[in-house]
Amino acid sequence: MNVNYLGLDVGGANLKAVLIELSKGIAKAYTRSLYLPLWKVGKEKLMEALNELASKAGELKAVGLTMTAELSDVYWCKREGVHHVLNTVERCFKDTEVKVVSVKGKLVSVEDAKKHPLEVAAANWAATGWVASKLEKTCVVVDVGSTTTSIVPVIEGELAVKGLNDLEKLMCGELVYTGALRTNVAAIVDKVPLRGGLIRVSSELFATSGDVHLILGHIREHEYTVDTADGREATRREALARLARVVCADLELISEEEVISMASFIYHRQLEAVAEGLLQVYSRLRTEKNITPPAYTAGIGAKFLAEPALRKIGVERVFSLSEVIGAASRMVPALGAGLMATGIEVDIKHLEVVEGWV
């Protein structure tokens, strides 16, 4: 008889879920991701999305939950956001035990999470670190998602982070607010090279990092899973037009080659931002612990942002989580939350992962 568990990562832009099926001690994971921009569609839509997942998940023994949605400006404050997510998940899975990932890397009850909302706010990195600790006792996991980059050190199987919330993590380099799809180009650069000089960019939301990476071939059109800046299609041609608009131009004023050159410059600036955060974290580990741990990369930006940034700062042992957990490498927090909810030791290295479920 199969026993099912569900791991949820409720973000402000994406709802990610991993259904874990246990049968005779063998685990199988099914992944699912829904684009859900709460600030745009409204927080009420969270229940609809969860109901859709629940209807296809079957009978569940438990739900493991982590979140980052509380930062969305659809909420007045993080406490309100945490409570809304908790209440919504609890209502949707009213007959199922729900456990919440805390910043200490442990599962707590919904009741405790409501009493201490900031201890579960943006704790998805803890679930990521938990997964990494099962693969390597001492390592650093670098998860480059659509919006942010999370850097999580693990030492001797335990989380070794310096920051416990977004504010602290931004200060110590463990959170770099740049991602592979949603970052405004104007937040990456203030000028780009053009025709032998440097031209200042518009601060309008004309193009995002997704356009840059689509133009450069880092992602394919079907991987551009978020809204584009202008609402038009996620094609390379449209991406070129969006990026041209960043310098208040269009494809009749500047050439495709010039836009590609701009994209390359922006990419390298973004790479430097990720490397800067990594250097901050690794410098601390080298100074305080005298170690340079191996790294695991995850997320949509693993190959073209995380890995080259790690190489840039001199980390030699770099491994891809996608080679271990396949499609689940793009939703490690959801996988971690689900596996933690099972309460048993699962051999992650031999976990079968299937993209999508009926």
* Model confidence pLDDT, tens digit, residues 51-105: 999 999 999 999 999 999 999 999 999 999 999 999 999 999 999 999 999 999 9
Across 160-189, b (16+ Cβ under 10 Å) vs e yields bbebbebeebeeebbbbebbbbbbbbbebb
- Please compute the mean of the pLDDT values over residues 100-125 and round it to a whole number: 98
Q: pLDDT-based confidence at 356, cuts 50/70/90?
A: confident
What pTM does this model have? 0.95
Across the beta sheet with 14-23, what order do the strands follow?
107-109, 97-101, 62-67, 3-10, 14-23, 26-35, 352-355
Domain edges within the chain: 3-179+275-355
**How many Å apart are CA 204 and CA 141, to the nearest integer?**
33
Architecture of domain 3-179+275-355 in this structure: 2-Layer Sandwich (3.30)
Q: Which of 138-152, 193-207, 212-226, 344-358 has the lowest mean pLDDT?
A: 344-358
- Position 358 scores a pLDDT of 57
pLDDT tens for each residue of 216-255:
999 999 999 999 999 999 999 999 999 999 999 999 999 9
Provide CB contacts within 8 A for 64, sequence distance 6+. 5, 6, 7, 8, 99, 100, 101, 107, 127, 336, 337, 338, 339, 340, 341
Element (H, E) at 175: strand 175-176
